[in-house]
Structure 1
């Protein structure tokens, strides 16, 4: 190989070295610049993040249904629910019991809110009733003289008789003498005696037609026939043909059912929305498609001792417009059960414009001692406060105290928030009367409302009972005995495994809130009698198609 060829061969190697050197230099420059730019930024961001996360670090985790169940790390509660983190509250100005929840947790819990508004009361009041004879449509028949019943034209209870038709014929020596006196007076043509004799016969209830017959024929009748005073059915029959009767004996009674009474059992809280003269409708399963107009005539002053309900008396005209004969018109029969429906449209509302403050029923937490709602304070802050409830409308309660128009309250997942807030809450609002806008429906509260004061006084005198929260499915409801049958989970406070059993229901809980098949969270206490009682109820779902008993068993297994 010549020298020239060697020189030509070494030139490409020198170019590759130069290119490689330049690439390495550029890489070092980029690396240095990246370190100078990125490392300080990451370092500073770590400090910023630390400054944000440090105060929000959870202090501990708590069971949603039992605030006494605490753990230092995430996990499951005895009921199989995820533990909820509890964060440190560094805001000294926040009201006691205020709970802060970040937006992500709110979404996971399914927190929903609504605004308190003034509503026009609107409720359909329903009640069960029984058809009875109208007492002012009953005629009791007495004989005004002693004698023997020669002829009785009604022989059994339930017989129908028209007004003015013969009812019975009686033989009485006294009646015979009264007739003879009139005949003698007529023969003597003595006007004074004639008038006196006629007056005596009328006082003995002798029909005018028979007096006229006696006056024209001047023949004394051995028996006198008395007529039916009204058209109706024989309600009671205490005599038969041939009986000896006296004035003190009620021989029979006749009742008309052209107009009847319906005695209805109304719940006491619904009775406050009724007034005399209120119109309603009557229906019966025995008369499909038939609707009768009714009017509220009287509200009895005493509760029924057996049903603990208020009795209301309705007057019903017992006839239909297309009927012409009396016995066809009388479709409502005494003893028949009916349904009564009345509409309430705010006739007794507290405000001038006929509206009231309403809170949705699903937002109210009824503990047995007080009624609470979870108030949204904004910026993810919530607090449980006491409220005083009024009348029960179909889907909401009237609010008498504790909330004002425009307040935002929690309607879903409030039970979970309340379990944490109620540990330290004073259940009072932080507003003063001057800080709330004026409204005709607002109930201003000072630092301690009457509701809170009453509750605090009651709590200080009542002995706290051991209680346990659990999840349950409602199997059966006995409204008369105020008991429910539940398939419940593990009751840790009583060391009781999940099972199906009966529970009594606290008087503070509306028994109508229990729906068969619904899934609920319940607080259970043991009564002095030893029976277990549902103290607090929170409906989680309307219908549970198939109770999941395996879930309870699994939860108990984890606990054990």
Structure 2
């Protein structure tokens, strides 16, 4: 019984509302026959509403014309006649009238092709040419009797005497050599060839031992000629250079293999230039480099010999080694110099002015002027940046397109603002019905049941 009474009540309400809908067919609410639920349609009048904004402060939006509360400028329409077209709303294209463009200072340029170059200016440190560094040591234990080179920084010529050393091993080697000389002189005329040959080989071995102990050929010849053992023997410089390390004094005892001097030939030096990570595409091996002194003096020239395959942890730079001739010794090791590299990048590259690119984290955007006051925010991918203020465009633009080079931040904020506003606007239906649909009229049987 309760179910039948409830059904009669619902049918009665449906008849009343159905009569109202026949009188006012444009009503914005509709009863639901099943479950007696209500739905509310979107009002088309709200979609036709015009909003007003400030060209200088696009975050100011009002429903009525007036003046900006911040700068006092007249507000301009943001939406007219139901707003932008659906394709413009989805792509982010914005429309700005000429007067507003002039107030914003919008300027444009054309996407063109050009050769990109970049001058890299960095600091360098003068270093030693590593293959031209030499270590002087003795091959026997002994005592340093005299030092001929006794100062760090002293220039040394090849063949110049460095020190006199007394060593029991050297004395014994001299004795063996003199015995071999005398024995060879006695047995040279022996009727047995094998004996004469053996004496000759023994002399050669004794001579070779002195040579291996760094005794010069002149000293060996003098020993053979004088037939007299000397207490000390002299060590000579095997290379020219500057004494960069001296680790011995007169009278000191040294063991075999101990480094006594370190000589460095600085007539040819290396310069280590710091290259930042973003500059690496511009630096190549074999590239010419100009080195400027920290005082008035003409620059010298060299070439990039090596780009080291690792990054310095502290400076976050990569070392580029430049080989430079230094015959006049003007470059001193550990001196700071200025280095200029003329880098050559892409040829015939598609480019835009650097001020045309908006960077926001991982996204790069360029506003393209598509005509009739419309601007399209186009995502792009950039490459190299030249000295004269141009970005290489890898993808996103085509040659000849007109792009915005100023006031992009205002355009960007306007685009994002309108996109946000568009999300709050009611959707415009493709075809609005002339009369609002109503619920199905109750059947005659249901009307009869209502009054039972």
Tell me the TM-score range normalised by the shorter chain: 0.7 to 0.9
**Structure-to-structure mapping, 1:178-257, within 5 angstroms:** 178-189=173-184, 190-257=199-266
Mark the CA change 1:155 to 1:62 in structure 2 (over 3 Å): closer, same or farther.
farther
In structure 2, C-alpha distance between the alignment counterparts of 1:193 and 1:380, rounded to whole Å: 103
1:296 and 2:288 matched: no
Structure 1 residue 69: deviation in Å? 4.6
Moved more, 245-254 or 178-187: 245-254
Structure 1 residue 425: deviation in Å? 6.3
Post-superposition CA distance 1:503-549 (Å, at most 9, x none):
xxxxxxxxxxxxxxxxxxxxxxxxxxxxxxxxxxxxxxxxxxxxxxx
State the partner residue of 1:344: 343
Mark the CA change 1:174 to 1:425 in structure 2 (over 3 Å): closer, same or farther.
farther
State the partner residue of 2:333: 334
State the partner residue of 2:391: 397
CA RMSD of aligned residues (A): 2.4
Mark the CA change 1:167 to 1:57 in structure 2 (over 3 Å): closer, same or farther.
farther
1:415 and 2:409 matched: yes
Equivalent position to 1:113, from 93, 108, 114? 108
Mark the CA change 1:142 to 1:256 in structure 2 (over 3 Å): closer, same or farther.
same
State the partner residue of 2:53: 61
Structure 1 residue 383: deviation in Å? 2.1
1:308 and 2:300 matched: no
Structure 1 residue 120: deviation in Å? 0.8
Does the residue aligned with 1:202 lie in a helix, a strand or coil?
A: helix
State the partner residue of 1:545: none
Moved more, 215-224 or 172-181: 215-224
State the partner residue of 2:275: 266
Structure 1 residue 253: deviation in Å? 0.5
In structure 2, C-alpha distance between the alignment counterparts of 1:218 and 1:252, rounded to whole Å: 32
Does the residue aligned with 1:253 lie in a helix, a strand or coil?
A: strand
Does the residue aligned with 2:298 lie in a helix, a strand or coil?
A: coil
In structure 2, C-alpha distance between the alignment counterparts of 1:298 and 1:139, rounded to whole Å: 22
State the partner residue of 1:406: 400
**Structure-to-structure mapping, 1:353-432, within 5 angstroms:** 354-394=347-387, 395-423=389-417
1:318 and 2:326 matched: yes
Does the Cα contact within 8 Å between 1:61 and 1:74 map onto a contact in 2? no
State the partner residue of 1:549: none
Structure 1 residue 64: deviation in Å? 4.7
Does the residue aligned with 2:172 lie in a helix, a strand or coil?
A: helix
Does the Cα contact within 8 Å between 1:124 and 1:343 map onto a contact in 2? yes
State the partner residue of 1:457: none
Does the Cα contact within 8 Å between 2:55 and 2:100 map onto a contact in 1? no
Does the Cα contact within 8 Å between 2:118 and 2:282 map onto a contact in 1? no
Post-superposition CA distance 1:417-467 (Å, at most 9, x none):
1111134669xxxxxxxxxxxxxxxxxxxxxxxxxxxxxxxxxxxxxxxxx
Structure 1 residue 63: deviation in Å? 7.2
**Structure-to-structure mapping, 1:516-527, within 5 angstroms:** none
Structure 1 residue 241: deviation in Å? 1.4
Post-superposition CA distance 1:367-395 (Å, at most 9, x none):
22322221211221112222212122211
Does the Cα contact within 8 Å between 1:156 and 1:237 map onto a contact in 2? yes
| Unmatched 5+ stretches in structure 2 | 1-46, 185-198, 421-452
Does the Cα contact within 8 Å between 2:122 and 2:340 map onto a contact in 1? yes
Structure 1 residue 300: deviation in Å? 0.9
Mark the CA change 1:172 to 1:307 in structure 2 (over 3 Å): closer, same or farther.
same
Structure 1 residue 294: deviation in Å? 0.9
Does the Cα contact within 8 Å between 1:269 and 1:392 map onto a contact in 2? no
Structure 1 residue 187: deviation in Å? 0.8
**Structure-to-structure mapping, 1:33-48, within 5 angstroms:** none
Structure 1 residue 229: deviation in Å? 2.0
Does the residue aligned with 1:415 lie in a helix, a strand or coil?
A: helix
Structure 1 residue 147: deviation in Å? 0.9
Structure 1 residue 174: deviation in Å? 0.7
Structure 1 residue 337: deviation in Å? 0.9
Structure 1 residue 412: deviation in Å? 1.2
State the partner residue of 2:121: 126
Equivalent position to 2:96, from 98, 101, 110? 101
State the partner residue of 1:275: 284
Structure 1 residue 84: deviation in Å? 7.0
Aligned length: 353
| TM-score computed with the length of structure 2 as normaliser | 0.73
Does the Cα contact within 8 Å between 1:276 and 1:299 map onto a contact in 2? yes
Post-superposition CA distance 1:158-183 (Å, at most 9, x none):
22222211111111111111111111
Mark the CA change 1:204 to 1:234 in structure 2 (over 3 Å): closer, same or farther.
same
Structure 1 residue 82: deviation in Å? 5.7
Post-superposition CA distance 1:311-365 (Å, at most 9, x none):
111110013xxxxxxxxx110111111111121233xx3xxxx322222111111
Structure 1 residue 195: deviation in Å? 0.7
Does the Cα contact within 8 Å between 2:55 and 2:76 map onto a contact in 1? no
**Structure-to-structure mapping, 1:75-86, within 5 angstroms:** 75-77=68-70, 85=76
Does the Cα contact within 8 Å between 1:64 and 1:419 map onto a contact in 2? no
In structure 2, C-alpha distance between the alignment counterparts of 1:310 and 1:420, rounded to whole Å: 42
Does the Cα contact within 8 Å between 1:76 and 1:83 map onto a contact in 2? no
**Structure-to-structure mapping, 1:127-166, within 5 angstroms:** 127-166=122-161
Does the Cα contact within 8 Å between 1:98 and 1:421 map onto a contact in 2? yes
Post-superposition CA distance 1:130-188 (Å, at most 9, x none):
11111111101121111111112222322222221111111111111111111111111
Larger Rg: 2
